[in-house]
Amino acid sequence: MKYWKDDIELDWTLRDIDAGRLKLSPITEDQLGELLEMGLAEVVDDQVKLTEAGYRKIQ
């Protein structure tokens, strides 16, 4: 985890993605790249969405 201070901050980012709050709480391209590498998010039709692993992380 290079772009988050701790696991809690990462979880909140994932929750923001799930709730569609990226306009209010934007992430950087580097953060998006790390989420994609970690398998927690994917880009579908130019929208960032959680993968199954992303949903499991926040449950």
Radius of gyration of the CA atoms of the chain, in A: 10
| pLDDT of 53 | 98
Supply the pLDDT for residue 50: 98
Q: pTM value?
A: 0.92
* Distance, CA of 35 to CA of 30 (rounded, Å): 9
Report the percentage of the chain scoring pLDDT > 90. Answer: 93
pLDDT digits (tens, 9 = 90+) for 22-50: 999 999 999 999 999 999 999 999 999 99
Label residue 1 by pLDDT band (50, 70, 90).
confident
- Nearest-angstrom CA–CA distance, 38 and 12: 16
